[in-house]
Structure 1
Amino acid sequence: MATKFDKGEITEAANAIGDLMNDMSAFKALEKHWPNAGKMPLAMWLERIVDDRRNAVVAHAEHLKIAFAQMEEKLKKIAADFSNADGQNAEAISKVIAGLESSVVSAVNTFDKEVESNQHNYSPGQGKGKVGDGYSQNLNTSITT
């Protein structure tokens, strides 16, 4: 006995999932703001903490966008390739879905590596990987005044 499903509804769900993170403007706006708390050690530490958290929020949004895009792709493939879920098709559907987690993990890892290699902030005179840029910082360093 075959399990029926509605290709149109699956495609519609795929499109809705794919559209969830289309508007990234709030996260893009965060990227270019470097906190300015002052030049004393505590203020500079606070800047690094705020910058680190801001970067994490932006990265999480990108990770969600990647995951939703992969889900959309897999659901559309299922909707396009199958009209029911009999024994043979159920196996084929399982194969389509089986690679989803590793596909998302791989895409996120690739994104993270690219971000890490290009990471910089937008403050004048501060470049990639230099102390004071908010990246590659040891946030556990004791603060002395």
Structure 2
Amino acid sequence: MARPTSTPTCPCGLPAPYEECCGRYHSGAAAAPTAEALMRSRYVAFTRRDAAYLLRSWHPDTRPPVIEFDPGLTWTGLEILGTSEGTAFHQSGTVTFRARYEDGGRPGALYERSQFLRVGGAWVYVDGEFIQ
């Protein structure tokens, strides 16, 4: 008897498969409805080294010309620590998160408070403040 196959959950930490979660934002099939959803999808884009999505979801005033990925860095988990505004009823929002990684086999974490704005109805990342 064949065993059922399970689809792995999205790296953003939500219990849905990638294709039904952040994958639909990456492909352009849907737009992230909240600042938190955009934050999660951007984290997943970093795990997948999807520079095109990261640039597309970055505010034009703060977007870098290119994104270079560190080949020794592997993202290993995302934890949303808090949100402020950032829903369909807001024009701006803040997401505070911890992203875990391994760099050359050494574990680490990035703590950041990220700012998001809605531009033309779509959420975009503006900038972030590192938290010690």
**TM-score tier after normalising by the smaller chain length:** under 0.3
Task: Using structure 1 for the length normalisation, give the TM-score.
Answer: 0.24
- TM, length-normalised to structure 2: 0.26
Larger RCO, structure (CA 8 Å, separation 6 or more):
1
Which has the larger helix fraction? Answer: 1
Between structures 1 and 2, the one with greater strand share: 2
